[in-house]
């Protein structure tokens, strides 16, 4: 039995700015020791384009005015990585993890996040993998999950966006993660193509929680 817990906080559907404030406050409380355990925030966002520290202007294909007219937010954030999309039907997981309890290495942490998602997808019956030299989770060259993280005092925030049953239409406005000609896909699409039962969001959520808990050797608990 794991000695430490992973406290899960499901935010439901929440605007990006509000969820970002929750992330930062949760990370602050974890850094200060006010929160005694690691936390996994789960959320779905209305459509938003987020720009990581490595984003190149050419990777955003639409103007801020055009995106705004479509009701799509545009936000600069401090996470690593390039540009990505959040939209309804995508499950976003923000792990607030104190790496001093695990391994103080962000490259190790990225691989652990990938492993958590790969394990979650295995739990719903879908095989996935890493792609050499590219962060994220993939299936047969198609990208299922995008990852971008940040840490301060070895406490992480930001995280992973897993396409579950979103229609991917918003991705037409960017070069996803700065990767030319990448094909984005969803859990629903890949399961249907493989002749597998398509899991609902609740099943994927539960699998993601279990995937993170198993990978980081933590017991699942509820946010107090």
CB atoms within 10 A of CB 9: 16
Domain encompassing residue 26:
5-222
Q: Determine the average pLDDT of the residues in 160-189.
A: 94
Structural domain count of the chain: 1
1 pLDDT band, cuts 50/70/90, is low
The catalytic residue positions are 177
Q: How many angstroms separate the CA atoms of 108 and 203, rounded? A: 27
- CATH code for the domain of 201: 3.30.930.10
How much is the pLDDT for 179?
85
Degrees (nearest 5) of the Cα angle 95, 106, 74?
Answer: 60
How much is the pLDDT for 186?
98
33: exposed, middle or buried (Cβ count in 10 Å: 0-12, 13-18, 19+): exposed
Q: What is the per-residue pLDDT across 143-152, written as a single tens digit (0 to 9) for each?
A: 999 999 999 9
Max mean pLDDT among 1-10, 75-84, 185-194 falls in 185-194
Q: What is the per-residue pLDDT across 78-134, written as a single tens digit (0 to 9) for each?
A: 998 889 999 999 999 999 999 999 999 999 999 999 999 999 999 999 999 999 999
């Amino acid at each position: 039995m794991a000695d430490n817990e992973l406290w899960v906080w499901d935010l439901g559907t929440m605007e990006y700015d509000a969820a970002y404030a929750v992330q930062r406050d949760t990370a602050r409380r974890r850094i200060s020791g006010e929160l005694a355990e690691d936390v996994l925030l789960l959320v779905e966002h209305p459509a938003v384009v987020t720009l990581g520290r490595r984003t190149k202007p050419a990777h955003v294909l639409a103007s801020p005015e055009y995106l705004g007219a479509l009701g799509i937010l545009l936000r600069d954030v401090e996470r690593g990585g390039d540009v990505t999309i959040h939209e309804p039907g995508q499950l976003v997981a923000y792990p607030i993890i104190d790496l001093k309890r695990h391994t103080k290495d962000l490259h190790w942490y990225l691989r652990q996040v990938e492993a958590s998602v790969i394990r979650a997808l295995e739990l719903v019956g879908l095989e996935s993998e890493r792609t050499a030299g590219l962060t994220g989770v993939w299936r047969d060259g198609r990208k299922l999950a995008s990852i971008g993280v940040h840490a301060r005092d070895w406490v992480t925030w930001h995280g992973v966006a897993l396409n579950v049953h979103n229609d991917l239409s918003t991705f037409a406005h960017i070069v996803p993660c700065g990767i030319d000609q990448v094909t984005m896909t969803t859990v629903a699409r890949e399961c249907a193509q493989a002749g597998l039962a398509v899991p609902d969001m609740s099943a994927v959520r539960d699998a993601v929680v279990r995937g993170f808990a198993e990978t980081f050797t933590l017991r699942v608990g509820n946010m107090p």
